[in-house]
């Protein structure tokens, strides 16, 4: 096989890149190691920045998003049994965020790709990237029981944190920065309408809790738990009781309970790999960086990478210039580090520290009080949460 851009990974980053390139007349092929069913059912993020919504519109993949997505005007912070609303449009000049599950984004993009897009191969596991610094790098992959090759002009590594793309970088050509947090999230999907109109971030002595949603009838909730927690050790009643305790406020509010359809434990980490390019291989999304989910940045960072990368490939296609491709890593990492900082700040401010003391507790409260008392501090949170502009 031969193509202009070989895309390793058929998650939202790879699929969105393929759509943007296809609409601009740039030839590409997507290789996805998993089955279509697995990819479309994989539970991930659901909060979309304004820029992510705009990118899906640009790709012609926003019809269901516009019809079914839940537009949110802000978030709610809870601490000391009080509730505080952070009004995004008032603080950012009109920007909002939208709740629309990543599983639905993937379904929309897969359907478009299979209907009229370039090749999308499922169960096509990338085995190696060869000659990444040459003029025609090659992806070796296994599909339908035999090994095949995809010869490319460029390769986009969109295959996630555990993919092969980042390992292509030779020793000494890059550096990674990592931090592991001393707690995890126990997440549930519940077949019950959300108990809130917007996301609730709750901080308390018992630990952090988040109330989110996937649709008007499905709630998504999280609890801070110790690392190494087994979800099976948390029966449904225990989960609901703990959520109710952490969301408790002085006033009239009730956490609605319902059947729990899924439980999982997510470890918390920050990770950034520099640079994001090696020869003609360019990393995007989780292949290059991971952030703790507190700031809702993982999917949105991947989309931001893809928007820059698509523009760079389209510029090359139309003008022959590699100027934007040559600046790809530099431009993306500016935004990546700011999103990593914001996610880290939110995480440290809202989670009970396993080895913290009374001083740490007071510092967390002081940070929260500043956000709820200062328009400037609230605006900084709102601007970062709803999405920084692309560095172009």
Active-site positions read 72, 201, 293, 297, 385
CA distances from 156 to 4, 16, 121, 199 (A): 11, 12, 15, 34
Q: In this structure, what token pair is assigned to residue 9?
A: 């990974």
Distance CA 226, CA 265 (A): 10
Distance CA 303, CA 55 (A): 8
Distance CA 385, CA 392 (A): 19
Distance CA 206, CA 384 (A): 27
Distance CA 69, CA 293 (A): 20
Q: Is residue 210 helix, strand or coil?
A: strand
> By the 8 A CB rule, do 7 and 30 touch?
yes
CA distances from 180 to 27, 100, 177, 242, 305 (A): 39, 28, 11, 25, 23
Give the bridge partners for 85, in sequence order: 76
Short-list 98, 113, 9, 130, CA closest to 59:
113
Short-list 138, 108, 136, 112, CA closest to 31:
138
Q: Is residue 115 helix, strand or coil?
A: helix
- Count of C-beta atoms within a 10 Å radius of residue 123: 16
Short-list 106, 43, 45, CA closest to 263:
43
Q: In this structure, what token pair is assigned to residue 307?
A: 């928007």
Distance CA 317, CA 309 (A): 12
Give the bridge partners for 2, in sequence order: 151
Q: What is the DSSP letter of 265?
A: E
């Amino acid at each position: 096989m031969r193509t202009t851009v070989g895309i390793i990974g058929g998650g939202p980053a790879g699929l969105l890149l393929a759509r943007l390139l296809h609409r601009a007349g740039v030839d590409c092929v997507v290789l996805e190691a998993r089955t279509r069913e697995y990819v479309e059912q994989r539970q991930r993020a659901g909060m979309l920045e304004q820029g992510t919504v705009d990118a899906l519109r640009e790709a012609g993949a926003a019809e269901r998003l516009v019809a079914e997505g839940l537009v949110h005007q802000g978030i709610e912070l809870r601490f000391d049994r009080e509730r505080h609303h952070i009004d995004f449009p008032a603080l950012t000049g009109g920007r909002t965020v939208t709740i629309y599950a990543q599983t639905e984004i993937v379904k929309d993009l897969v359907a478009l790709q299979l209907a009229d897009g370039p090749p999308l191969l499922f169960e096509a596991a990338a085995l190696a990237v060869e000659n990444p610094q040459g003029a025609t790098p090659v992806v070796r992959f296994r599909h339908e029981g035999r090994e095949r090759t995809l010869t490319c002009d460029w390769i986009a590594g969109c295959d996630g944190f555990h993919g092969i793309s980042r390992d292509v970088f030779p020793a000494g050509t890059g550096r990674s920065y990592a931090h592991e947090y001393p707690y995890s999230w126990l997440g549930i999907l519940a077949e019950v309408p959300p108990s809130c109109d917007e996301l609730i971030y709750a901080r308390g002595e018992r630990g952090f809790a988040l109330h989110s949603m996937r649709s008007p009838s499905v709630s998504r909730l999280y609890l801070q738990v110790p690392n190494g927690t087994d979800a099976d050790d948390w029966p449904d009643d225990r989960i609901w009781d703990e959520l109710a305790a952490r969301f408790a406020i002085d006033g009239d509010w009730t956490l609605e309970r319902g059947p729990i359809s899924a439980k999982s434990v997510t470890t918390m980490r920050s990770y950034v790999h520099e640079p994001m390019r090696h020869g003609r291989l360019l990393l995007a999304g989780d292949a290059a960086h991971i952030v703790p989910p507190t700031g809702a940045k993982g999917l949105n960072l991947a989309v931001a990478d893809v928007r820059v990368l698509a523009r760079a490939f389209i510029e090359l296609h139309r003008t022959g210039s590699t100027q934007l491709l040559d600046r790809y890593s530099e431009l993306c990492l500016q935004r990546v580090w700011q999103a990593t900082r914001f996610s880290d700040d939110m995480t440290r401010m809202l989670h009970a520290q396993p080895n913290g003391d009374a001083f740490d507790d007071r510092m967390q409260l002081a940070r929260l009080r500043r956000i709820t008392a200062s328009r400037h501090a609230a605006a900084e949170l709102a601007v970062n949460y709803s999405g920084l502009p692309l560095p172009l």
